[in-house]
Structure 1
């Protein structure tokens, strides 16, 4: 049962509909009418909206909704369908799932954590240059300083904060003045009161955050003195407009999780000498495979209880075995994170909480080798089902829904078998380094990347929704990875030390092991068909020797293992030789290359180059990391198809993917650094001659490293689609038509390697055009087109500056005539986070008919840049007919964009309070025009009741009686349309209309439910009639109605009607809080009873004689 205060009406603005004042008033009354119960939502199949521009459906399982006046907070499971990464941990409700219960703020830390207490002044370029000169003397001074008191000015990088509230989400950064800057622009108000950080939504609902419910993160080893910081703030309280409209949260420690982030690299260092009088050859040194590790420990909190006016929700946790937690400092174990076992819903009766029902969560594990494994890195929590249990009803536990995934297997969390984006690719890599150094395959494998993905949701009725996923695809020609397309392979047998051919008894050609003790081989699988040139040779160290000629042996072999065919075979010949042959490589075949020799005197070599990276034949549908939805099919209890949706992501009339990478198109895995050293210029002979005075030369050391993780051009959710086609099929599989969607695209701002990406997400993803096609006997005819036009409003355009300091190399030296010096190359780059405002300007709807097109144009106007919703809308149809609606909001009056309709300073003062409370979406004035002529004008007067602000009066201009004032302006007299009175707590008490209609309301159950609606009765009469009040209060004692107490309710209703004054009538209601209405008695004494099962589901309706007039059956399996 849902009751909303009168003010909620003003949140519902139908922009283009021709609404009248009478519609407004009826809407106000409707929001106060108790809602008649209906059958519980029994999902035989689900409806899941899809974000077409990302290819991801919004998969949500609603469990329960908390209500407190105007506040509605859903408790719901949500699933992210973009794929599971190899190192991804499962949340407290299973891999891929999350649970929403109110709201949170998460922090994306860049460099040193940004705290509100910091000094937010940003240095100018001269200060930066001076600062760099100071740190040049000590390479570590920079890191020391950013952990000190000047860290806000010199760490340079802004943290990004993301908030997710009930129906609202956005981001912010701190600007140059330490103020929160919204990205993109929105009508959120940020406040700080009594130690609480408050986000006020545009409807005035306040979300309070403090340090009572936070997750804290520590990074080890401690980099640059970064302390433990808060990474997540969980909502502490949600406060609505009514005195009793609040939801409070208490949190419990959940334990910790310790994660390891590995970085791998290998490469080479090349030393070259310049400005030298000697001919010194470059010296190349291989840099061996290196591993670095960073530990991050998060101490988390989870909700324990949520309390609201009529009940509370309790979260019960239990142990799990797939999470590791230890202190990186002491290496001692600490309590790990737990999983959600149960959500308990309790009804508040008096001061007691009585269990009503619970949701129980059932789990198993995805596993690498065995579900019983105790190896934490090989297990991930899997949510199998959610069931519901009713208390005190005798009902058994009922399954709410269950889930089917793509198998039980999951790779080890530390596996190297992953693509460039971190998703599983099934390749048995020996290291994670791709490219010419590591030779490891990081290509995308669609089948492997689906591990752990949700395939089916099965509902209690037996119906189900089936999901089919596929890899994201990129539509540009060039490959993503910037590295050599060809991998160079060079193989040469070494000379086993101590192995010689001097004694023929030592090496006899017995078998391959003895025969060829020096051997090397190379295996690879061709990613595409190609022709490669293979150069091979066999050479001796000693040209002629009887012993060697007798026993030296070497072999070369190249084979296609897939076909079992030898392509090249060579052995020692009378003379040394080097040959080159072309070998045709077939896509998907595995190839074997081998070189071998039996003596230090002879060697065999192979050199070839092949395209071994993730190269695909279809260059306009290049696979990239993560998944998108391909098909959604709904089936009934018997497995029969109900409907189906198919999704394609192609540029119209082509086979080219419309996918676009949001950031840099290329990935970079290679970094370089140049260090220069000044040293004496000498040769070895000079060292023995003291009379030689060496000069100076430059030693330039260039270090090139290949990394396991890209250093630029990659981050999560990196693809958006410009065009998407949605095909709809009926139960018979017939294609009824499709819809083509076109979206706006915009790449993120790329600064350079080692810099964070500056997101432009607020500029992309808007729907540009929707074209609907109907299947006409196999031919698709367009029947409707909707075009949207946007603009970026520069009136709301703010920025927050950041710097990044990069060390490219160093210069050092000490030689003859030079003092010792050391200089580190560092350079700052400035970049800005932009908070912009992109809004819809107009919509053109074209209905396409055989006899011509009907075009309707809808325009939105944003006259006031202080709020993010339109102030005017206009509709023009094909015949030129126009309709226009104008809204004025509190910000229009407090900022001088509009004048008060009446000279009412009191109303202006209240609107100032509304702005202070961020109640900025309440219309103050609504004007409607048709064909340019004024048709209606309404003005809303607000009043304050305690701390609640609500509509007191609605006035309407009398358009039939105009006059001209002294300024030669047309004036219209005001006519009262509606007057509202409120209780102290902000609940509606009485509504009086200009027609003379009078309605009073009586509230119960903590002012949460309307117990009685009285027509033609002033609320003051109730206040002065103790007996009537006593009767009305007794309605609250009736909850569940049955055959034994229904007569008592009938008697009470008769007493109430008899106590009414003449001319008044009443409708009464009874309820089970948290369940719904149990009876409704009309002014004539006729009653309808609503009966529920233990789960709060409506099962039948009965008339006043207790006869069943409607029966509802739930065919749950």
Structure 2
């Protein structure tokens, strides 16, 4: 692997003490390429290109937005707090700067490439953001419009108008205007809305902020002659200029929430074929589906008292210093696949997106009552195919999911936290509410100097540590075909009082038939003490399958104390009227027949006895990592005795592992002859019985190097320097198969 560093030599926006204490913070590590090497050769590399990686600042740079991402602003050596109406550092999001250092291209060993394109994260702010005080988050841009005396701008007698311009978001406190007259003619100037509903006067000589605010909409400048007017007399003219800052989106509806999201991926195979994937993050109402789960850095809380508004409870830090590192998530993501007209479509994913609860943004601060473990679960997946004839997408398949969260059902239509954020749960006598959830009530105090925490003037906040199970309880699949709609439903029930495992699975098909699978675990039986005490509570012991509530088959597995299966029992119902209710005192019900026994040695399976057919025994080698000998119609003890007898008689009593290690990956004629000799002697040892033997050798961590079948015929496998299969040869060393590997553009 090859690496490189970017290096930021500037110290303008870094606290000197931090720059001295950690000089390596000026370096940023990047992976440039990954090359697969052998002892004598190498493959073409994977190589990576990043967006302007040399521009990444020092890790301690103050050039950061409210979410801790680089924004290129000159904020000096310190980050300062600032309220919404106060000056301070510029922590607005810069969409271009926040993408610096992201992966742009990956070159593949085949010569193809994958290009990645990003766009800023955008999300709907939570309601509590209205209680926070901080300056503008969204990127702002300076805009301006001017109007000069020009006959082309004259719309009627004595009236001049500019081109129409747009205000994308409400503008106040930064609407600069200047109105200058030349000569003796008198004029008035206004900003007017296109529909005439708003009119703002611009006084002559104004070169300052106007007190009036403009709402979102289309506007134009209008200048009207107060007395005489001569359109061609430019010596008696005017000029109007207006400047304002604007943001592409309203912070009341959507805010830039820091960092970037993937917007498009393009895969190029060098043969002119480009496969494109693009991504949208809009909900069913065509609005951003982003949700913010964290707090902006360096914000204020405003409180109102008898003597005015106070800013209190400032909170510094970056996203990773808070309890929620993932500060944004999306409820809807659409993946659009463009593989050509005959192979295009899109998939819409809908996810759970519950916000955290509690008043964690209010002093004294607490960690949130977290719902993070419930977010990101699929609620709906819609698959569409592009229909060339209609020029639109056709829904082909829909999957709906529902969940059991903390023992409560959460449906795909639910959009809010199942925990009421306004509820105050009482202090519990026990931390465990039940087996599906728990809640630990905690409190944080804010002391004042030397005052003890129990004194009444100290502030405190309640919060809760919550946890519990999240389980998918049903899944509905709907397929839309030309012949009609096909539906199926899967319903799950869990045993959260004992094992937390799947207890029942019901599949309902389109024709109404139901296939039910019941599962039973060690805690469902009275006699499986060893498994219970050794904490093997999640092992399935008994499984029953019913069709339309009639038992058709079942199985029981017996385990040893190490949790390994030792006997399988099966039942097949020949009588549709028969049923077997579960009995906790009976492990093996009547009419369940033993199908096979399993025996282990050193944790490895060494014997597999199929009661009605064949018994298999296995001998392991390479320090018990690989199965070397498989024998039929013989038990493990007899097989091991035979192997040891052959080694003692013909190989100077060396162990099987020593013999295998001497074969050197089975590449020389001598090693092949040695292993063939062992095979012949082993078969000779069992020649007076019906034992059938197959043997295998390996190159550890690479693959199989030889296989000798039941007839004593061998195949040998050879690999190249990179562990890829190259040759297959027979027992006479004749070439059976040859594999060549080529990358595009290479011989």
User: Is TM more than 0.5 here?
Assistant: yes
Q: CA deviation at 1:402?
A: 2.5
Offset from partner CA, 1:279-317 (integer Å, 9 cap, x none): xxxxxxxxxxxxxxxxxxxxxxxxxxxxxxxxxxxxxxx
Structure 2 distance, partners of 1:439, 1:764, is: 35
- Which residue in 1 is equivalent to 2:494? 862
- Which residue in 1 is equivalent to 2:95? 446
Q: CA deviation at 1:625?
A: 1.0
Q: CA deviation at 1:736?
A: 1.1
- Which residue in 2 is equivalent to 1:1054? 680
* Paired residue secondary structure (1:1084): coil
Please tell me whether the aligned partners of residues 532 and 585 of structure 1 are also in contact (alpha carbons under 8 angstroms): no
Q: Aligned pair in 2 of structure 1 residues 618, 728: CA closer, same or farther (>3 Å)?
A: farther
Q: Aligned pair in 2 of structure 1 residues 1056, 776: CA closer, same or farther (>3 Å)?
A: same
Superposition map of 1:849-998 within 5 A: 849-893=481-525, 905=527, 908-915=528-535, 919-944=536-561, 948-957=562-571, 959-960=573-574, 972-983=590-601, 985-998=602-615
Please tell me whether the aligned partners of residues 531 and 563 of structure 2 are also in contact (alpha carbons under 8 angstroms): no
Match of 2:446 among 806, 810, 814: 806
- Which residue in 2 is equivalent to 1:1010? 627
Please tell me whether the aligned partners of residues 550 and 579 of structure 2 are also in contact (alpha carbons under 8 angstroms): no
Please tell me whether the aligned partners of residues 456 and 466 of structure 1 are also in contact (alpha carbons under 8 angstroms): yes
- Which residue in 2 is equivalent to 1:728? 337
Q: CA deviation at 1:1078?
A: 0.7
Superposition map of 1:416-431 within 5 A: 416-430=62-76
Please tell me whether the aligned partners of residues 440 and 464 of structure 2 are also in contact (alpha carbons under 8 angstroms): yes
Offset from partner CA, 1:112-163 (integer Å, 9 cap, x none): xxxxxxxxxxxxxxxxxxxxxxxxxxxxxxxxxxxxxxxxxxxxxxxxxxxx
Please tell me whether the aligned partners of residues 401 and 457 of structure 1 are also in contact (alpha carbons under 8 angstroms): yes
* Paired residue secondary structure (2:523): helix
Structure 2 distance, partners of 1:583, 1:763, is: 43
State the number of aligned residues.
Answer: 601
Please tell me whether the aligned partners of residues 437 and 706 of structure 1 are also in contact (alpha carbons under 8 angstroms): no
- Which residue in 2 is equivalent to 1:743? 351
- Which residue in 1 is equivalent to 2:51? 406
Q: CA deviation at 1:1084?
A: 1.6
Q: CA deviation at 1:701?
A: 11
Structure 2 distance, partners of 1:721, 1:964, is: 48
- Are 1:1092 and 2:719 matched, yes or no? yes
- Are 1:633 and 2:266 matched, yes or no? yes
* Paired residue secondary structure (1:1049): helix
Structure 2 distance, partners of 1:845, 1:579, is: 60
Q: CA deviation at 1:673?
A: 9.1
* Paired residue secondary structure (1:1011): strand
- Are 1:643 and 2:271 matched, yes or no? no
Q: CA deviation at 1:1059?
A: 2.2
Please tell me whether the aligned partners of residues 622 and 660 of structure 2 are also in contact (alpha carbons under 8 angstroms): no
Please tell me whether the aligned partners of residues 126 and 291 of structure 2 are also in contact (alpha carbons under 8 angstroms): no
Q: CA deviation at 1:702?
A: 9.0
Q: Which has the higher contact order (CA 8 A, sep 6+)?
A: 1
Please tell me whether the aligned partners of residues 173 and 210 of structure 2 are also in contact (alpha carbons under 8 angstroms): no
- Which residue in 1 is equivalent to 2:735? 1107
Please tell me whether the aligned partners of residues 517 and 543 of structure 2 are also in contact (alpha carbons under 8 angstroms): yes
Structure 2 distance, partners of 1:362, 1:411, is: 22
Larger deviation: 398-407 or 1012-1021? 398-407
- Are 1:761 and 2:389 matched, yes or no? no
- Are 1:658 and 2:289 matched, yes or no? yes
Q: CA deviation at 1:619?
A: 5.9
Structure 1 distance, partners of 2:112, 2:435, is: 51
Unaligned runs of 5+ in 1: 1-360, 488-525, 538-565, 572-577, 588-608, 677-699, 812-822, 894-898, 900-904
* Paired residue secondary structure (1:1024): helix
Q: CA deviation at 1:1098?
A: 2.2
Superposition map of 1:338-377 within 5 A: 361-369=1-9, 376-377=24-25
Q: CA deviation at 1:935?
A: 1.2
Structure 2 distance, partners of 1:473, 1:674, is: 31
RMSD: 4.3
Structure 2 distance, partners of 1:711, 1:826, is: 28
Q: CA deviation at 1:427?
A: 2.7
Structure 2 distance, partners of 1:423, 1:535, is: 31
* Paired residue secondary structure (2:85): helix
* Paired residue secondary structure (2:97): helix
- Which residue in 2 is equivalent to 1:1067? 694
Match of 2:403 among 790, 793, 807: 790
Q: CA deviation at 1:1004?
A: 0.4
Offset from partner CA, 1:306-362 (integer Å, 9 cap, x none): xxxxxxxxxxxxxxxxxxxxxxxxxxxxxxxxxxxxxxxxxxxxxxxxxxxxxxx32
Match of 1:470 among 119, 126, 133: 119
Q: CA deviation at 1:364?
A: 1.4
Please tell me whether the aligned partners of residues 727 and 738 of structure 1 are also in contact (alpha carbons under 8 angstroms): yes
Superposition map of 1:502-513 within 5 A: none
Q: CA deviation at 1:473?
A: 1.1
Q: Aligned pair in 2 of structure 1 residues 850, 1115: CA closer, same or farther (>3 Å)?
A: closer
Offset from partner CA, 1:866-899 (integer Å, 9 cap, x none): 3333111010111111111111122333xxxxx5
Superposition map of 1:268-283 within 5 A: none
* Paired residue secondary structure (1:446): coil
Please tell me whether the aligned partners of residues 352 and 376 of structure 2 are also in contact (alpha carbons under 8 angstroms): yes
Q: Aligned pair in 2 of structure 1 residues 467, 567: CA closer, same or farther (>3 Å)?
A: farther
Please tell me whether the aligned partners of residues 1102 and 1110 of structure 1 are also in contact (alpha carbons under 8 angstroms): no
